[in-house]
Amino acid sequence: MDTKEILKKVRKIEIKTKRLSNHIFSGEYHSSFKGRGMTFSEVRQYQYGDDIRNIDWNVTARYNEPHIKVFEEERELTMLLMVDISASEFFGTDEQFKRETLTEIAATLAFSATQNNDKVGLLLFTDEIELYIPPKKGKSHVLRIIRELIEFQPKSKKTNINNALEYLLGVLKKKAIVFILSDFVDNNYDQAMRIAGRKHDVTGIRIFDRYEKELPKLGMIQVVDAETGKTILVNTNSKKVRTQYEANYLKTVDYYKTTFKKSGSGAIHTMIGRDYVKALMGYFKGRS
């Protein structure tokens, strides 16, 4: 893909996702994710309805009338987008691949953070750490993140969420808002998630295709595992095969749900071809 084509794609995603973040997500994002704490702002005279626990007794004694301390939320936040770019993300039977949907959602979240003057960083992973962009503010920084999401070519095809979480824990020392965008076709990341969930405000966004859930009847077909390159023949007309296929899928989904719930983290599910805006809005409103 040449530079002109990349810039054209970046611009297209910017127009679509910035509109969503401006008109839909920015307010929900602001109310859903809190700052790091409360900082002292000023002392003023007590007014009816003020919390008496905030009375400044020293100032009250000095002026012989009640005064209270006023605190403001420390709003500045840091967001990290952890995006799975393994080979399984290049799958999709509807309008786009999973990676394209992940890119749109990540861009929307990045612009929402920018609207609130927050820092945004990017971590692209497979079973390796493919790219890390430290959190920073500004539109040009967000556009760089979008460009990397579009054009970055990973070295590996496989997935290891545990490795990505361990890297996260090492690189981000202060509490951050972390979105993990993946199909979560992986396991053995529950321990790392428990630690990450205690340290950061983590949300998983699981993207899936309808045919990952239910195998269609297409007769005998050749199937290639995108991550291992292994090819097998599958009789899709076999009820036993379709039942096992669905059972494996449900096992993966259940592991994802259970792991995120036990870690105290949020979990979102959205299918390619469906409106991911609805899923995100519902999640944000539920947190507010």
3-state per-residue secondary structure call for 252-280 = HHHHHHHHHHHCCCEEEEEECCCCHHHHH
Per-residue confidence band for 123, with pLDDT thresholds at 50, 70 and 90: very high
- Rounded mean pLDDT, 193-222: 91
pLDDT digits (tens, 9 = 90+) for 218-265: 888 887 777 777 888 888 889 998 999 899 999 999 999 999 999 999
Note the pLDDT of residue 75.
55
Per-residue confidence band for 215, with pLDDT thresholds at 50, 70 and 90: confident
pLDDT digits (tens, 9 = 90+) for 4-60: 665 677 777 777 777 777 665 666 666 677 554 555 557 888 888 788 888 889 888
Query: pTM of this prediction?
Result: 0.80
Query: Which range among 89-93, 147-151, 275-279 shows the weakest confidence by mean pLDDT?
Result: 89-93
Of residues 267 and 236, more confidence is placed in 267
DSSP state of 284: H
* Distance from C-alpha of 163 to C-alpha of 156, rounded to nearest angstrom: 13
Domain ranges of the chain: 3-32+75-210+262-287, 38-73
Note the pLDDT of residue 97.
86
* Distance from C-alpha of 79 to C-alpha of 114, rounded to nearest angstrom: 10
The whole-chain average pLDDT of the chain stands at 86
Q: Which residues pair with 44 in a beta bridge?
A: 68
Q: Taking a C-beta distance cutoff of 8 angstroms, is the pair 123, 131 a contact? A: yes
Q: Compute the residue count for the chain.
A: 288
Note the pLDDT of residue 197.
96
Percent of the chain with pLDDT over 90: 41
Note the pLDDT of residue 84.
96
Which fold is adopted by the domain 3-32+75-210+262-287? Rossmann fold (3.40.50)
Note the pLDDT of residue 252.
95
| Angle, alpha carbons 77-83-87 (nearest 5°) | 180
Q: Which residues pair with 38 in a beta bridge?
A: 73
